[in-house]
A and B are shown apart, each in its own frame.
Chain A
Amino acid sequence: MLAYIIRRLINAVITLLVVTLVTFGIFFGVPKITGSDPALLYIGKTADAASIEGIRTKMGLADPILVQYGKFLKGLVVGRDYSSGPDVIHCPAPCLGYSFKTDRLVTPTLLADIPVTLSLAIGAAILWLIIGISAGVISALRRGTLIDRAVMTGALAGVSLPIYFTGLLASAIFIYWLEWLPQGQYVPFTENPGEWFVQMLLPWITLAFLFAATYARLTRANMLETLGEDYIRTARAKGLRERTVIGKHGLRSGLTPIVTVFGLDLGALLGGAVLTESVFNLRGLGYQALDAIRANDLPVILGVTLIAAFFIVFANLLVDLVYGVIDPRVRLS
């Protein structure tokens, strides 16, 4: 088991390295080949040659691409110094460089965005797990009935309607028509938990609807498969109550594949739920990413990409480890 964990960890680190290499290559290497200049993006096209040169030196953009990558990696791990003539600015690890647009360090900017994204992802995840799994289980147990068909129709709507549609529709209904929820802005949890909850409710519901739909379908399919297994028949033949058969023997294996999907979904969302955040004007990582793309703010885009990649790789690692715990066939082989 220990060897398994170590092997997974090494794999995760290698994957992250490759991700940095590829993203760095795309953002800083490719422009060099195609002739567009990151320094121009930073300072603006109207700048004179001297200031562009100054930026190049300061940012290290004049170095060969591999040297730049090396410095970037070093920045990530131990931090780096930027010097423009006399003054030296230290960028502490993990250093993602400076925003071209705001001239501020990227890392703290992004770190400030994380709570918003985290609020959105975790809250929605709790909602969709509860709704999706229970709908899926009920659907599987009542296969072919009206309830099953209703759930599956709802689920089909959930997976096929885009967020910007359901989000706007939900806002229109709950805020402007029924007036159940107030208009407003994101409020940090630490400031006012009640207001935070009220403001997050609609984004949670909207995002959870999409995922709950997928999870209901997945759960239904897994449960139906599990309920057809021989060991379920054995559990019944032992005289176990139907709720033990379903609740213990059925759910235990029916929900195992959900763990995989959930880990990956949550990992991906933590890197920013671009559509939901922009529909509800939540200044999280996804919103930041969208802003940065509009402004050609390469270091920020790179930073968001790396954070997203980190979360996905981390989630993958976690899923593998959890699997080792819940499935004795993985653990003991």
Chain B
Amino acid sequence: MSVNSATDRPFLEVKDLTVRFETDDGIVQAVSGSNFSLRAGQTLGIVGESGSGKSVTSLALLGLHRTRSNAKVSGEIWLDEKELVTATDEEVRKLRGGKMAMIFQDPLSAMHPYFTVGSQIVEAYRVHHPSANKKVARERAIDMLARVGIPQPERRFHDYAHQFSGGMRQRAMIAMALVNDPKLLIADEPTTALDVTVQAQILDLIRDLQEEFGSAVIMITHDLGVVAELADEVLVMYGGKVIERGPTIDLFQRPQHPYTWGLLGSMPRLDREVRDRLNPVKGSPPSLINLPDGCAFHPRCPYAGRNGDRSFKEVPVLIGGAHSVACHLPPDLRNKIFQEEVAPNL
């Protein structure tokens, strides 16, 4: 996982990505103005709770909102020198499952119940390799099943998703995503539905396959542990916005945003002594139809008033270098609060 030389452009570059849904209740601001980039061979972790916009971001990358007539996507998505927001449906379709592929949270519902697992992988291969005959595609599918560690792949090829165990099913899902050697793999909560020992197997598999295929990976998760294990860089999302971004080690050692502090404070950790009490973020996540004025986090932020009333009026922008944050607190004050009030309780 070496960082490429500074001269080559990032493989994926997202600029000011915004996704809105028009609903009967109003306009849902699912993602507002996200910026991030990713180099080949690197892993980007996107962390956030439900409604933070992390899954919507990933679906936007694949152009999967195009089939929803009420979705409006704007901004720029550059994948390997090609802009995707303005590309035609057909152009994006050819990239989907080819150059970029996705694995989903619940492999049981993400696989068609009436088609065999093998035939679904064959289908994924042949749509991007129209000249490949059935036999070649079948061999390729069986080969992929074997590579993701499914025993007896020739036999399992003919099984249906419901005949697989949870872990094997997610392996098959990964085989299907990787069948066309994607350069970008998006994993949306790939282990959330799995048991912890199986989760360890799957994360290990993703890590190994990434080394083998050299693809870029976007790991979307609510679990900071998963991010800490896999990601080179982390985005923290809240209320549809990226509120903190930084190299993984930096972000965990010197988290900048009060929401990130809250996430870390909420987690009981096996690698620390047991704390008397957890320090959760108070309140609940905001409605994306009716975001609070100013900083979307201010109603839940214990420090919102420490720097005048800017937090209540002005939307903070993501500023900083490699490690940037969208917060109105001045850096000195923020560091002081973190050192004195937050860090001792983590």
A–B contact (CB under 8 angstroms): yes
**Interfacial residues, chain A to chain B (CB-CB below 8 A):** 144, 229-231, 233-242, 244, 249, 252-253, 256, 326-329, 332
A328 (CB) vs chain B CBs: closest residue = B160
Residues 104-137 of chain B, each 1 if its beta carbon lies under 8 Å from chain A, else 0: 1010011111110000000110011000000000
Determine whether the beta carbon of B67 is less than 8 Å from that of A236: yes
Let me know if A230 and B110 touch, CB within 8 A.
yes
- 27 A-B pairs within 8 Å (CB atoms) are namely A229-B109, A231-B109, A233-B64, A233-B104, A233-B110, A237-B64, A237-B104, A238-B96, A238-B127, A239-B93, A239-B96, A239-B97, A239-B98, A240-B93, A240-B124, A240-B127, A241-B93, A241-B127, A242-B67, A253-B113, A256-B114, A328-B113, A328-B162, A329-B113, A332-B160, A332-B162, A332-B163
Give min CB distance, B82 to chain A, whole Å: 15
The answer on a CB contact under 8 Å between B97 and A238 is: yes
B325 within 8 A of A: no
Determine if B104 and A234 form an interchain contact, defined as CB atoms under 8 angstroms apart: yes
Docked Cα-Cα span, A91 to B90, in Å, equals 70
Known: A233-B110, A236-B67. 8 other contacts (CB 8 A): A231-B113, A237-B104, A239-B124, A240-B127, A241-B127, A242-B93, A329-B160, A332-B162
Out of B64, B104, B109, B123, name the residue touching A240 (CB < 8 Å).
B123
Q: Are B109 and A236 in contact (CB under 8 A)?
A: no
Residues of B within 8 A of A (CB): 59, 62, 64, 67, 69, 93-98, 101-102, 104, 106, 109-115, 123-124, 127-128, 160, 162-163, 176
Instruction: Knowing A230-B109, A231-B112, say if A237 contacts B102 (CB, 8 Å).
Output: yes
Closest approach, in angstroms, between the C-beta of A323 and any C-beta of chain B? 11
Q: How far is the CA of A229 from the CA of B113 in the complex (A)?
A: 11
- By a CB distance below 8 angstroms, the chain B residues around A240 are 93, 97, 123-124, 127
**Whole-angstrom distance between the Cβ of B230 and the nearest chain A Cβ:** 21
CA distance A231 to B176 in the complex (A): 13
Residues in B whose Cβ lies below 8 Å from that of A326: 114
- Which A residue sits closest to B112, measured CB to CB? A231
B104 adjacent to A239 (CB under 8 Å): no
State the Cβ distance, A129 to closest chain B Cβ, in Å: 20
C-alpha gap A231/B114 in the complex (Å): 11
Given the complex, which residues of B lie within 8 Å of A236, measured CB to CB? Answer: 64, 67, 96
**Is the CB–CB distance between A230 and B104 below 8 Å?**
yes
Q: Would you call A231 and B110 a contact (CB within 8 A)?
A: yes
Whether B160 pairs with A237 at a CB distance below 8 angstroms is no
